[in-house]
Amino acid sequence: KLSVLLLFLPVAVVMQFLHVEGLPLFLVSALGILGTVTLIAKGTEEIAIYAGPLWGGLLNATFGNVTELIIALFALSKGLHEVVLSSITGSILGNLLLVLGAAMVYGGQKYHTQKFSRTGANVNVGMLWVTIVIIMVPSLMDLAVELEHHISETVQTTEGTGGDTQLTAKQLAPRAEELLVWAEETKLALPETKQAAESSKTALETGEDEDLNSAREDYQKARQTIREQLVPQSEELLVRAEETQYGISEAERAVDSSKKSLETGEDQDLNSALENYQQAKQTQGKAVMLNNISLSGAVILLVLYFGGLVFSMRTHKFLFMPVDEEHHEAQWSKQTAIYMLLGATLAVAYLSEAFVGSIEHMVEHDTINMSEMFIGVIVVAVVGNAAEGMVAVWVARDNKMELSFQIAMGSCLQVALMVTPLLVIASLWLGKATPSHPDGFLSLQFNPFELLALIAGTLIATAGLNDGESNWLEGMMFLGLYLFFAMVFWFHP
């Protein structure tokens, strides 16, 4: 029935030719995608009949989420990283809560209890938990670094910046120790700061004015040496920032403040220069760390994905075969099926470009009252998963809950284990630089509420699917949680 929406394909072509943008193109291209996806599903199904169970299953696994992948790739190329990350969250939540919930409710109206493989469900949910942990780590590392930096800033601002020439031995000793710790971290003025720390300890122990004056001189000498060495170090930091495209503004600020500190000789200017240098260094280090973690996680996810394919289609395929699977005769010739699949994929690519372009236009001109997060989590995810999701709901009505579960959970895992890592890797070449992603790389830094939604969704799925049975009330719980998340994402700034 969705194939009727193919009529929107030529409409989208005409609208692009006439340079129609914004909401009209957004709606038409979205409807066109829904219609074209049915051809991809049909073409894949027909080829699978000719290819046999193994290659057919592999083809279904590959093309099952090609729409989401294509849309996300175009979004990456236009610098809509937040939309891409949100669409990953939305696809997982949509399949896990919306599709499964709707299937349980729809099938539960006719059958009080529907059954599916408990072992297969546990395997799939376990894989999903592993994925959630992997994509959570970069975000949690980011939050931990930010919290540590905030605490460090709070400590620094409460220490005061009184004149060092008037410091008592009791005040001087901890400051000299702190300066030594900083010097050991940055490798700046180590001999001078060690001398200042030792002489301040001596002054504190003896209480002699002569020792105190000597300690003050050593402390001032150490700070002056830091001033002199901080300028070239900050300039080197700026060069690295320009190479990596991370922390450029922070590095520029560090260079300016270090030069000012050297010119004025004021202790307050030096304190500011030290803080700016640390912030610039931290920004660069954090960016490199998060990118490396995201890339490593992407590789591991792909390995898990291929391992899952071998498990479900070779060694343990009996756990994932629908109970009442029927053999269908091919309705198209093999050549027709291949041409239709290729043509539909190209059509989806064209419509996806128009779809993402309309999103970019609406975001830039603020012509629609939706945040990028809501567009990604709800709109893009629903458009990408609608056709496959409807199939999962329809077959549940015929008491084929095993098949319904496999469609929804399989799509969920494909997004998590295949689409997500491919997007991370593809962003190395396709990603467009933006202020928040200056090198265009898609690091797995999700919004904290997205992480909360993923954890909560996986928790309720674990509880609801653990017994291998479903009913309409469980479906209502799944749908209720999804609708609540959708509402929160709508109001999220």
Domain ranges of the chain: 2-146+320-491, 159-285
What's the DSSP call for residue 313?
A: I
State in Å, rounded, how far the first CA of the chain is from the last one: 37
Cβ atoms within 10 Å of 24's Cβ, excluding its own: 13
From residue 284, give the alpha-carbon distance in Å to each of 2, 181, 272, 291: 49, 21, 19, 11
Helix (H, G, I), strand (E, B) or coil at 208: coil
pLDDT confidence band for 473 (50 / 70 / 90): very high
Q: Which CATH entry fits the domain spanning 2-146+320-491: 1.10.510.10, 1.10.3720.10, 1.25.40.80, 1.20.1420.30?
A: 1.20.1420.30
CA 95 – CA 100 distance, rounded (Å): 6
Residue-wise pLDDT for 194-246, tens only, equals: 888 888 888 888 888 888 888 888 888 888 888 888 888 888 888 877 777 67
From residue 211, give the alpha-carbon distance in Å to each of 72, 74, 196, 214: 67, 68, 11, 5
Q: In the structure encoding, which two tokens stand for residue 62, read together?
A: 């590959």
Spell out the SS3 assignment of 353-395.
HHHHHHHHHHHHHCCCCCCHHHHHHHHHHHHHHHHHHHHHHHH
Helices (H), 245-371: 248-264, 267-310, 334-365
Residue-wise pLDDT for 37-50, tens only, equals: 888 878 877 887 78
* Residue 156 pLDDT greater than 50, yes or no: no
Q: Which residues contact 386 (CB under 8 A, 6 or more apart)?
A: 2, 34, 37
Residue-wise pLDDT for 339-361, tens only, equals: 988 898 899 899 998 999 888 88
Q: In the structure encoding, which two tokens stand for residue 442, read together?
A: 């898609």
Angle in degrees, CA 245, 238, 271, rounded to 5: 125
The residue-averaged pLDDT of 179-192 equals 82
pTM assigned to the model: 0.80
Cβ atoms within 10 Å of 221's Cβ, excluding its own: 15
Helix (H, G, I), strand (E, B) or coil at 188: coil
